[in-house]
Amino acid sequence: MRPPGSRVVGGMRAWLLIVSLLLSACARPTPAVAPPIAAGTSSPAPQVVERVDGSAQPLFAAAQVEGVFVLRSLTTGEQIVTDAALAGTGELPASTFKIPNALIGLERGVLAGADATLKWDGVERAGPPAWNRDHSLASALRDSTVWFFQEVARRVGPAAMHASLRAFAYGNADIGGGIDRFWLQGALRISPREQVEFISRLHRRELPVAREHMALVEHMLTRAQAPGWSWRGKTGLTAHEGRAVGWLVGLAERDGTTWAYALLLRAPEAEEERLVPVRAELTRALLIHYGALPAEAGR
């Protein structure tokens, strides 16, 4: 993961918002009306019914990226994908893996809670200056601090890590490539559809870990919120085999309805840094386009 360190260039956020609003006025699906599902309920999940929708392609074109967006209503089970083939393509999860890594660290007793702190080893690392200090779980998740979660994975150990990923049904659950590298440059692969399934189970408290651990990690993913809506998510970014891969996965809630989503972007490796601002701005525009966030969330 090479986390956010760049600024939005050339008014990209405003441009994507304008395109999103224009598309939404013409083609946005009307969210189904249904009783809200409270966070963490154990009621049966609705059957997932997927449809391919191309109405958001102008947003990808405006951002000049190849990618796919998967959006699932946890109320109705409707799942929208913008590219059926790419939605099923496995990629390295990069720092989106910090979500299961945090859950496993909490469940295995490596981390005692949001305030659990690991001491910085004093090694200056390439990346945001905020990495180079002691971190709690909450601050490490917020700042996407790679060394913190590498140390968590080492303390969990290969056997427990592999067993947990299999229990989560997390992608291919392959930890080949090193206990502190397998999600960055190793063998682990997960598709956008699988990301959405994992996030859906997190929200419904269906993963095989303590409910309080799922609730805590979900809360720490909050990016923005206001009365009537919230946006949670975790970014990821890596490069391998000549290609840059960018992610943003999480949850959006509006007026009592919750959606799980995953954005996957791919670009030539030389354009890796360009994906840093695009992930959040494109995801925001897509969530507005499909009605999972209100227009004011783009301001």
Contact indicator for 173, 166 with CB cutoff of 8 Å: yes
- Return the SS3 of 252: strand
211-233 exposure pattern, b = at least 16 Cβ within 10 A, e = fewer: eebbebbbebbebeeeeebbbbb
Q: What gap in Å lies between CA 122 and CA 134, rounded to an integer?
A: 9
Euclidean distance between CA atoms 295 and 41, whole angstroms: 28
The token pair at 20 is 């999103």
Residue by residue, DSSP assigns 77-91 as: -EEEES-HHHHT--B
Supply angle C-alpha 213, 214, 220, rounded to 5: 90
Location of structure tokens 């189904």: 32
Which member of 20, 24, 73, 95 is catalytic? 95
Q: Are 286 and 263 in contact (CB under 8 A)?
A: yes
Q: Which long-range contacts (CB under 8 A, 24 or more apart) does 155-158 make?
A: 155/105, 155/110, 156/104, 156/105, 156/108, 156/110
Nearest to 246 by CA among 273, 219, 264: 264
Q: Tell whether the torsion through CA atoms of 190, 191, 195 and 201 is positive or negative.
A: negative
Q: Identify whether 144 is a catalytic site residue.
A: no
Known catalytic residues?
95
